[in-house]
Amino acid sequence: MREITYVQALNEAIREEMRRDPAVFILGEDIGVHGGAFKVSLGLLDEFGPERVLCTPIAEAGIVGTALGAALTGLRPIAELMYMDFATVAMDQIVNQAAKIRFMMGGQAKVPLVIRGQGGSGRGNAAQHSQSLEAWFAHVPGLLVVQPSTPYDAKGLLKSAVRNDNPVVFIEHKMLYGTKGPVPEEEYTVPLGAADVKRPGRDVTVVATAWMVPRALAAAEELAADGIQLEVVDPRTLVPLDEETILESVRKTNHAMVVHEAHRRHGVGAEIAAVIQEKAFDDLDAPVVRLGGKSAPVPFSPVLEKRLVPTVEDIVTAARELLR
């Protein structure tokens, strides 16, 4: 199977959905001639023209508000936020409007809206361009939240998100854009709400998200030399969360660890740990371990930035301690 980058996979997903359905269009800052800040929309303007590739002012509230209005009229917009941090500017449109309209209309209105953006640290972009805000969105009823970690998942999940009739917050990670992986040339989708076991193992279940998935896999490789097998589970979507795949893994390994980049305090790891505690308590041989970022703004300094989020070594150390 061919291998393409995460960025190319996203570009293919958008291109294929725009070809398949004339109601699909994209809007955002610099997405036209420049192809977006991270080149996800490169070449789309040439194929679909300015009526379906709308280059907007720097106004996130306007971008999301326009997309929301379009979704309510039957279109299927994909709104790009250059950085997911800037969703803060559009939180009224996302949280008070998009997430609630279908409920408040008694199900008579649909909101087929995708809000794309990249998050996370790793590039020295400092405190206002490096946040992991997925827990905010996962807390809001009415929003679906997606975090793909591979090119295959990125393409398949984005296609499913575009076809969904509910607002989807689609969070990409800046450090994954250049990663490569196998992606079929033929049509496929990945269903929302289905986790994936990225590596099977017998000793410890590691539930990891986004950039922490490749780090968990690297830790598993290192520990395998000592006969310790980590089973790495990627939820892929935080809402809906595939609890059963996670619980099935925990019932097999009897040990659980949750790893995410966002601040550990009140992060999605706490929710996943609670699910494990409530529904698989009798299967655990030790308490659930949570690894997450330190509760501090992301620093500009590369040295300090690296110390903020869990490393491969942190996962290795935590797994060894968990099995003692």
Residues with catalytic function: 129
Integer CA distances (angstroms), 105 to 2, 77, 145, 162, 324, in order: 45, 20, 22, 21, 54
Spatial CB neighbours of 319, under 8 Å, sequence gap ≥ 6: 203, 204, 206, 219, 223, 228, 230, 257
Count other Cβ atoms within 10 Å, centred on residue 86: 20
Handedness of CA 261, 252, 283, 248 (dihedral sign): positive
Spatial distance between the Cα atoms of 109 and 122, rounded to a whole number of angstroms: 40
Quick one: which of 184, 158, 175 has its CA closest to 237? 158
- Please tell me whether residue 235 adopts helix, strand or coil conformation: coil
Spatial CB neighbours of 245, under 8 Å, sequence gap ≥ 6: 194, 195, 196, 197, 233
- Please tell me whether residue 180 adopts helix, strand or coil conformation: strand
**Structure token pair of residue 77:** 């917009």
DSSP string, 236-267: SEEES--HHHHHHHHHHHS-EEEEEEEESTT-
